[in-house]
Amino acid sequence: MMPLFQAILAPIIGAPIVYLLEKRLRLKVGWIAFAILLYSLSMLSMVAVRFLREGAPIVEEFAWAPLVELYFGFRADGLSLPVVLIIAILSTVTAIYSMPYMEHKTGWGVYFALYLLYAAGMMGTVLATNLIEFYLFWELMLVPSYFLIAEWGYGARERVSFKYFIFTHVGALSLLAGILSLYVITGTFQLYEIPIKLRAANISHYVLFWIMVALLIGMFVKMAVWPLHTWLPDAHAEAPTPISVLLSGVMIECGVYAFARFVPLFFPELLLENSHSLMILAVITMFYGGLMALVQTDIKRLLAYSSISQIGYMLFGLSSATALGLIGSIYHIVSHACAKGLLFACAGAIMHQTEGLRDMRRMGGLAKRMPCTALAFLVGVFSLAGMPTLSGFISEFMIFLGGFQGVGYTQRVAVVVIAMLGAALTAAYGLWALRRIFFGQLPDYLKEVKEAPVTMVAPIMALAILSFIFGLIPPLILNFLSAWAEALGL
């Protein structure tokens, strides 16, 4: 049956079909894209149930280039499953959201074809079993997203998309340099053969350090870690809003996944040695993004800088090199995908209903006109701020608790306490945005505004509900991540 192959191939095969059906179905091709992604989600859900039942990774692969021991395949385990599932969920619900967004635009077939390829790239990146396959899917994320921003974005979209392409492609080249260096040393691209052969090769600490740095540069560009973040505010703010949902909700987190997958597996000693430095970098990223978000007047730019800050949380947990920190970081991928996805979707709903209004200084009182959107925005803000009963509380609690553990306890305490203040900063910019947009005096020019259409509100509310579900029932995610941490020996 090979459900993993089906999950990835369905959107790849579906992309040209959606493009060809545009003339006949027009905007309804969005429902075809939705059905394709729903099928992928169902395949991945079947694999998740099987993993929990059997307790062993599910691997599907075949010989791709036997002479260089290269296999093409997909692996579902405790790390990849929660990440690929949230990618599939967010991609599926955002396909519905895209239809009202695109109703007054053109090129529906091309849009949804690129959208499907973009989703396939993200899912393939997470499930890849070898480094070359990983790199190919990593680049597949870039190409369709570039065209989606350039064609359907806002403002100076051509300049913004070009900057996004150059930054992320240069980061990908650094990643490729690290991948090829590992192959030269080990003679394999297979993920789970590399650590064994690295230990057998007895390579100097110095060489391994610079290979790790090359890989980290590629990951940090994708994650938008300070100071490699400058592409993100423009790209996320000027991208078409459904693509902003995916860019911020799951694409940048693919860099977090890559860190969690490669660094503890390939360089466990180096991760421990550089833990404090990486934690400090995470705190800088956290506060930089939060402070910049606090001074924004454009709703999408505020959310873009917020994404940088939230990446700081994830990097902080990963850098702790503890089981709790690593698990908390991956949990935060899921939490952030739900919360930030719904916040960007709320921003898009407001823009859709107010003829493109983005300046929060010109808003106010919209809770009276858009109550469902206001409620969902509140849930998103509270989840990011770590409010109990919401998923953000679980992930942030584990990240900070993991930060207290490990070697160098005294030095860690100061760093963790400073990092915890970031949660207050998140609440500050989130509640300030909520106040400016939804409360206060409703301007005369907004008195005719109505709630967004159901095809926008339903995906938004679905993500809000998921934020509660993952906050109230943590084992839904922790059962996967605990198995991964145990396999790593943490």
* Mean pLDDT within 14-20: 91
Q: Report which listed range, 35-39, 316-320, 429-433, is most confident.
A: 35-39
Name the residue ranges covered by the structural domains of the chain.
Answer: 277-490
Q: How far is CA 177 from CA 2, 89, 180, 225, 332, in A?
A: 32, 32, 5, 20, 29
* Mean pLDDT within 390-395: 90
- Residues 136, 118: Cα–Cα separation, whole Å: 12
pLDDT at 418 over 60: yes
Q: Residue 334: what pLDDT?
A: 93
Q: Which is it for strands 70-76 and 58-65: parallel, antiparallel or unpaired?
A: antiparallel
- Residues 356, 33: Cα–Cα separation, whole Å: 26
* Mean pLDDT within 468-489: 87
Q: What residues have CB less than 8 Å from 124, skipping those under 6 apart?
A: 8, 74, 133, 136, 137, 140
Closest CA to 453 of 152, 112, 102, 107: 102
Closest CA to 344 of 333, 355, 336, 354: 336
pLDDT at 407 over 60: no
Higher pLDDT, 359 or 81: 81
Higher pLDDT, 313 or 69: 313
* Mean pLDDT within 84-109: 90
Give me the percent of the chain exceeding a pLDDT of 70: 97
* Mean pLDDT within 175-189: 89
Give me the percent of the chain exceeding a pLDDT of 90: 46
Q: Residue 440: what pLDDT?
A: 82
Per-residue confidence at 67, pLDDT binned at 50, 70, 90? low
- Residues 150, 125: Cα–Cα separation, whole Å: 23
Q: Residue 68: what pLDDT?
A: 59
* Mean pLDDT within 403-421: 73
Per-residue confidence at 193, pLDDT binned at 50, 70, 90? confident
Mean pLDDT lowest among 102-116, 219-233, 408-422, 463-477: 408-422
**Helices within 205-322 (DSSP H only):** 205-223, 231-238, 241-246, 253-266, 268-273, 275-294, 299-319
Mean pLDDT lowest among 143-152, 180-189, 200-209, 222-231: 200-209
Per-residue confidence at 9, pLDDT binned at 50, 70, 90? very high
For the chain, the average pLDDT equals 88
- Is the sign of the CA dihedral 248, 107, 102, 237 positive or negative? positive
**Other Cβ atoms within 10 Å of 73 Cβ, number:** 19
Q: Residue 489: what pLDDT?
A: 67
